[in-house]
Amino acid sequence: MNMKKLLIVAVSLLLAGASAFAWSKKSENTGNLGRMYISISGAVDSSKADLKVPTNIAPVGGDMKSTPTGAYGQFMINAPIFKPGINAFRNIKWAGVDGQIFFNYDYSGDYKASWTSGGAKTATISRSQYGIFAGLTPYLNFETGLPFLKAVKPFANGYAGYLWSDYDATIAGADFSTNSNYFAYGVGAGVEFVILDELSFTPMWQWNGNAESGIPCYQTVSAELAYWMTDQFCVSLFWIHNFGGEYGVGSGSSNYSLDIKHGDIIGAKFKIGFLR
């Protein structure tokens, strides 16, 4: 655990030092990739799941399906490590590398279920997660020279960090709570389409893994439409679709799980850009 935290700190310091080198010279920017900015996101998190409780509590089925609404937030620092045509990449205008440090928070809302065997009973489970991560995004930079669709930037993405999860549940009148913290990581790919200097659209796919038993790996697809009003201010709309997975919580007679079928996060970002 200490080694993992040390690794995250070391990567963060490396990104900060490399970024200072990369943006020591001012350059024109289009889209999001290649810019230094901070981003604050807020969103609604909705999902559809089946709640599975121990058979000694609910021996026959009931209304185990739930569609709660929660909340999602993120704070990110994005910094160019290498910019196309700048400093170490001054003779390479078709590629670049960005680095990110970000903090995520996600609250699921209350998953609810009810059944009638042995008398009417209910169950409620909620999940909160927060984590800190560092990532890298190498990309290609193809400028078209057209008045519309000015550039196409295919990219890959990888991240690693630490995640904390808390589960609170009330099942048939009994309260349960569990918490865990673990190493998490992921890889992905996408394309940023720079429609205008100020306007870009970015679809992306991502695979998310972890080092904790009982927590599934899962995949997401996402899309972001960003508009830079000036070089310093941007607003964007984004959507993330989670293909789901089954989360085991508790142990023994208190074992229960959330079988999340799918989830959607829809929200907005506000970005502040920096040029030097």
The answer to whether residue 31 is domain-embedded is: no
The strand ranges marked E within 116-244 are 121-140, 142-143, 151-171, 174-194, 199-210, 218-228, 233-242
**What residue spans of the chain are helical by DSSP H?**
2-22
Average pLDDT over residues 253-263: 71
The answer to whether residue 175 is domain-embedded is: yes
Average pLDDT over residues 173-196: 89
Q: At residue 197, does pLDDT exceed 70?
A: yes
For residue 24, what pLDDT is reported? Answer: 43
For residue 187, what pLDDT is reported? Answer: 97
- What's the distance, Cα to Cα, between the start and end of the chain in Å? 37
User: Using one digit for the tens of pLDDT, what is the confidence trace for 1-40?
Assistant: 555 555 555 555 555 555 554 444 444 557 899 999 999 9
Average pLDDT over residues 140-144: 90
Q: Which domain holds residue 72?
A: 2-24+36-274
**Number of domains the chain contains:** 1
The answer to whether residue 77 is domain-embedded is: yes
| Residue 153 · residue 33 · CB < 8 Å | yes
- CATH number, domain containing residue 179: 2.40.128
The answer to whether residue 30 is domain-embedded is: no
| 260/204: higher pLDDT | 204
Helix (H, G, I), strand (E, B), or coil: what is residue 59? coil
User: Using one digit for the tens of pLDDT, what is the confidence trace for 36-75?
Assistant: 999 999 999 998 887 776 655 555 555 577 788 899 999 9
User: Using one digit for the tens of pLDDT, what is the confidence trace for 205-250?
Assistant: 999 999 987 788 899 999 999 999 998 999 999 999 999 877 766 5
The answer to whether residue 29 is domain-embedded is: no
